Amino acid sequence: MFMHLNLNLHNVSWCWGFLSSSIMYTGLLHSIQIRFPFITHQTPSFKVCSSKVPFDESSYEAERLRLDAKAIESMAIEAAAAADPKAWKWAIRKRVWDLMEARNIAQFPRPVHHRIPNFVSASAAADKLSRLEVFLKAKCVKVNPDTPQKRVRFLTLYGGKMLLTPQPRLRTGFFSVLESSTLNPSTMNEACTSVGVAKYGRPIGLDEKIKVDLIVIGSVAVDPITGARLGKGEGFAELEYGMLHYMGAIDDSTPVVTSIHDEQLVDDIPVEKLLVHDVPVDIICTPTQVIFTNTSIPKPQGIYWDKLLPEKLSQIKILRQLKARIERETGHKLPTGPSEKLPPNAQRRKKP
């Protein structure tokens, strides 16, 4: 059930900094210092807080990679039987990932399993996307933070547009805004990476007044006939879409575009089995073609709290704050979806 409420979150702020902590291991004679970025709750408006601690790129990247690995592992927990209602999604994902690796279509980072897969000629697909009328007219473009869409992020900034990109897995915040006017040729390319977003981006909150003209989304598989799409299975694209809809930054007319390899086009995604929060695609750009799907699949209308996994809620601070805010304002407890048990075909292979 989607609850459409007006929010004025003036009691939350986000501050980038670093926290050092020592972890003592039993039987060892030393401690390990870990540094990582975090968000604090301080003043009654969203703003960027300056920090006296210099930005530590190596620490940030090491912590990001560690958390990425942890998240990927959590996706691969073996659980429910193959009769699980979501098993069909994982079967298609695995088939596409396997094919990309077998045909050497996959690019770094590899293996591409449990990722939005990077692919050969991703730049060619991005160039086709940049020539779309909806891209040329857009002033603000939301682009996913994955590797195959890095050139899309660059072309967005290079074209003088505002780039809106989510902070990785929404674990350190919400979205960051980057503008070409604040960058120079030597920093623009770096700004398209997760480290660069942390260095040069301006974090925003749910009360930000912003209009997104185009959404670029990563995919594992897409049906070119129906526009049905499968991501890597973590649901972040759906959450990002839902929150932007909730903010009023997008509506049903906002185009959704994906860039993929031709081998990621499939014809066996059953539309009737898609969930209400699954995001369909309007336009597909591959290295060789542009496909207008004319999808008739309804787009999500916000956050569907009854579908939101408790595990996901526990991982994403901004969702917990939003949920608590709504519950305080309405005096009613919002529902939460059941815990997810991944089918065996979602299991991630252990490295030898």
pLDDT given at position 314: 87
Question: How many C-beta atoms surround the C-beta of residue 129 within 10 A?
Answer: 27
What integer best gives the mean pLDDT of the chain?
81
Alpha carbon dihedral 142, 188, 318, 213, in 10-degree steps, equals -20
The domain segmentation of the chain, as residue ranges, is: 84-306
User: Phi and psi at residue 287, in whole multiples of 5°?
Assistant: -60, -20
pLDDT given at position 32: 33
- Output the tens digit of pLDDT for each of the chain's 352 residues: 333 433 343 333 333 333 333 333 333 333 333 333 333 333 333 333 444 456 677 777 667 666 766 665 555 543 344 446 678 999 999 999 999 999 999 999 999 999 999 999 999 999 999 999 999 999 999 999 999 999 999 999 999 999 999 987 676 678 999 999 999 988 999 999 989 998 999 999 888 999 999 999 999 999 999 999 999 998 889 999 999 998 899 999 999 999 999 999 999 999 999 999 999 999 999 999 999 999 999 999 999 999 898 888 888 888 888 888 889 989 999 998 888 666 565 655 554 4
Strand partners, 265: 222
pLDDT given at position 139: 98
pLDDT given at position 329: 87
- Structural class in CATH, domain 84-306: alpha beta
Question: How many C-beta atoms surround the C-beta of residue 84 within 10 A?
Answer: 18
pLDDT given at position 109: 95
pLDDT given at position 54: 67
At position 116, the amino acid (one-letter code) is I
pLDDT given at position 16: 32
pLDDT given at position 114: 95
